[in-house]
Amino acid sequence: MPQGEIGSAARLGGDMAGGDTPPSNSPPSDTPQRALRHWQLICFTLLSAPLAMVNFAVVSFVPTYYAINLGLGLALVGAVFMFGRFFDVFTDPLVGALSDRSHSRWGPRVPWMVLSFLPLLVFGWMLLAPPAAVGPLYLFLVASGYLLCLTLFDVPYSSIGLEISPDRHERSVLAGTKAVFQIIGALMASLVPVVIAAQMGLSLSTLAMIFVVSMPLALLAFLIGTPRYSQPARAARPSLWTAWRACLARPAFRQMMIAFFTVQASNAMTVGLLVLFVTHVLQAPAMVGQMFLMLLLGTAFFVPLWIYLSKKVGKQQTWITAICLCTVVLLLAYGVAPESTVMMQMICVGLGACMTCDAVMPTSMLADIVARDEAEAGHPRAASYLALKNAASKMAFVAPMGVAFPILGWAGFDKAGTNAPETLSFLLFFFAGLPALLRLITATYLWRGLKPHSSPTTA
């Protein structure tokens, strides 16, 4: 990352990162007020890699492994994960609001991360490395425990990323760097099955081992290297319900949430069904890992482009551009025939290139909203905003698990054998057709919400 994107470090002091409020009382300006050194940026974002590795496996590999390899069935596995995501809709905002209201010598965020760290490791291990014979109760308890601990850890952690920089462009750089480490983690999850050339059970167990080894090291780097700051709240903290209402009362946040949920639902369907698409439409099950690799390489290479474009034309305009490009790429999936490997590789690279913008731009836009709101309100709200956004993201995960999988089962989709063209059309619709439609609707919605003559500093 170029030196100019980060700048020189400013003077930082006080309590642990994620202290009570951002260091400025005034609304954010376009003039950089503080910058992070390269090593501070890395220390903060490093945790994203092991978290993303497991989350990528949970989205892409774990449902299919439990449903097919362990014989629990698509409908049952979909129902279990759908319940977990619905549960997150309530736990995410609660944890976010409680984190905003917490007090400690290390700030409001770090104690939540430390206390939930060990349970997160245990449930992550149990989910990725289950016994040979498991039943629905095991999956329900372990998946629910993992998702709850992930909320307890990730909401406070990611909230620090919204508070740590008052500079608009640096927020995009920070979100982009975090996305790069998320890509690295997802690449690890994608490469392990290819490198060890083993069946999925052994691949998931290997990922579990990497997770429990790398997470403590990443947390240590975070605690040592993340910048620190402190500033007391200037106003009394409202009740939990009042805080949530204040967040949702902001039109910019509501618009971003609606668009983010719709795009995430589109992405969840496409990524969640990629294994089945490559296996039954491309008819190349041995290339599943390679296709995930191409998807992730696309995300990695295009992060700098989206950051640069957002500085030139605005964050919302950049996101609209990526949404429209992804729609075109999705429609190309209707031309995939058996063994059309090169075409599928190009589609995966294109999908990855656009999906990385779906992660970076909304996060940077949310940081802008949080900075202005906290400056006006006089007390922290970052975790409440982030938790509501996370709840929307996790609800979007229901799309493949709670909608696509059951309908595919109802249509008679044979996960182990051949399927009629009519049955495959259902798979193609949920993999590409419906996601493309959702993206077109979202792009139109965002475009209509743009302010006239908006500039990069206002979009």
**pLDDT for the residue 229:** 56
Average pLDDT of the segment spanning 353-368: 89
Average pLDDT of the segment spanning 197-224: 88
Percent of the chain clearing pLDDT 90 (strictly above): 25
Q: Is the pLDDT of residue 23 over 50?
A: no
**Residue 403 CB contacts under 8 Å (≥ 6 apart), including other chains:** 269, 430
- What digits encode the pLDDT tens for the residues 425-456? 888 999 999 999 999 999 999 998 765 444 45
Q: Across the chain, what does the average pLDDT equal?
A: 80
Average pLDDT of the segment spanning 35-39: 72
- What digits encode the pLDDT tens for the residues 104-124? 677 677 888 999 999 999 999
> Among 144, 154, 145, 139, which Cα is nearest to 63's?
139
> Among 319, 328, 329, which Cα is nearest to 351's?
329
Average pLDDT of the segment spanning 115-142: 92
**pLDDT for the residue 401:** 62
**pLDDT for the residue 226:** 77
**Residue 248 CB contacts under 8 Å (≥ 6 apart), including other chains:** 254, 388
Could you tell me how many residues make up the chain?
459
d(CA 161, CA 367): 8
**pLDDT for the residue 303:** 86
Do residues 297 and 352 touch, judged by C-beta distance below 8 A? Answer: yes
Q: Token digits for 423?
A: 């049955």
d(CA 334, CA 54): 30
d(CA 215, CA 46): 9
**pLDDT for the residue 17:** 38
Do residues 20 and 108 touch, judged by C-beta distance below 8 A? Answer: yes
Any idea what DSSP says for residue 198?
-
Average pLDDT of the segment spanning 57-83: 83
State the residue for tokens 């608009």.
168
Helix axes 110-128, 136-163, angle to 10 degrees: 150
**pLDDT for the residue 194:** 67
- What digits encode the pLDDT tens for the residues 373-413? 777 766 677 777 877 887 777 777 766 667 787 888 787 77
**DSSP states along 167-200:** -HHHHHHHHHHHHHHHHHHHHHHHHHHHHHT--H
**Residue ranges per domain, the chain?**
34-226+235-448
Distance of CA 211 to the CA centre of its chain: 17
**DSSP states along 339-363:** T-HHHHHHHHHHHHHHHHHHHHHHH
Compare 28 and 298 and report the one with higher pLDDT.
Answer: 298
Least trusted range by pLDDT, from 88-92, 136-140, 363-367, 449-453: 449-453
Average pLDDT of the segment spanning 276-286: 87
**pLDDT for the residue 31:** 46
> Among 21, 23, 3, 17, which Cα is nearest to 47's?
17
Question: Which alpha helices (H) appear in 101-167, and where do they start and end?
Answer: 110-128, 136-163
Domain 34-226+235-448 has CATH 3.40.50.300: no
Q: Could you give the angle at the alpha carbon of 360 between the alpha carbons of 355 and 365, nearest 5°?
A: 130
Burial class (CB in 10 A: 0-12, 13-18, 19+), 453: exposed
Least trusted range by pLDDT, from 25-34, 43-52, 58-67, 85-94: 25-34
**pLDDT for the residue 8:** 32
